[in-house]
Chain A
Amino acid sequence: SQQGEEDPQALSIQEGENATMNCSYKTSINNLQWYRQNSGRGLVHLILIRSNEREKHSGRLRVTLDTSKKSSSLLITASRAADTASYFCATVSPGETSGSRLTFGEGTQLTVNP
Chain B
Amino acid sequence: DTAVSQTPKYLVTQMGNDKSIKCEQNLGHDTMYWYKQDSKKFLKIMFSYNNKELIINETVPNRFSPKSPDKAHLNLHINSLELGDSAVYFCASSQRVSGYTFGSGTRLTVV
Contacts and interface: CB of A to CB of B under 8 A. Distances in A.
Given A48-B99, A98-B50, A99-B56, A88 B104 contact: no
B86 interface: no
Contact of B43 (A33, A50, A88): A88
B12 interface: no
Contacts of B11: none
A101 B56 contact: yes
Interface in A93-114: 97-104, 106-107
A92 B97 contact: yes
Contacts of B105: 40-42
A41 B104 contact: yes
A86 B94 CA distance: 21
Nearest to B54: A99
Contacts of A44: 102
Interface residues of A, number: 30
B100 interface: yes
B103 A99 contact: no
B99 A42 contact: no
Contacts of A35: 100, 102
A47 to B, nearest CB: 8
Interface of B: 4, 30-31, 33, 35, 40-45, 48-50, 55-56, 90, 92, 94, 96-105
